[in-house]
Amino acid sequence: MNLKNIRNLNKKQFLATLGLQTAPSAISATAKILGFIGIGVVAGATLALLGTPKTGREVRHSLRWTLRNGVDEVLNALPDKLEVRLPRGA
């Protein structure tokens, strides 16, 4: 390969000629990880709902109750000394 041939190569081909490659960006690696986590969450939730011995109506009722009462349970579990400051106007 001579200098004239190198000028016709794109970035990927030039690096491959040298035995190198471009490194993936941190954003693309993070997006890939978050994508796999999201797929896992959806698959796990689907399998949990399909494997439950309850009817659909019972599952919806249970989920609704957990969402409504879960916030109260978390707030009650917090220590009394913890101050929660709400923004003005809230």
- pLDDT (tens digit per residue) in 22-47: 777 888 889 999 999 999 999 998 88
Greater confidence (76 vs 55) lies with 55
Is residue 90 over pLDDT 60? no
Q: How far is residue 49's CA from residue 42's CA, in Å, rounded to a whole number?
A: 11
Q: Which residue, among 75, 49, 73, has the nearest Cα to 62 in the 3D structure?
A: 49
The pLDDT assigned to 89 comes to 62
The reported pTM is: 0.41
Percent of the chain beyond pLDDT 70?
82
Which domain, by its residues, includes 7? Answer: 3-77
User: Is 37 part of a structural domain of the chain?
Assistant: yes
The separation between CA 71 and the C-alpha centre of its own chain, rounded to angstroms, equals 22
Residue 84: both structure tokens together: 């929660």
Residue 21, helix vs strand vs coil: coil
Look at the chain and report how many structural domains it folds into: 1
User: Is 84 part of a structural domain of the chain?
Assistant: no
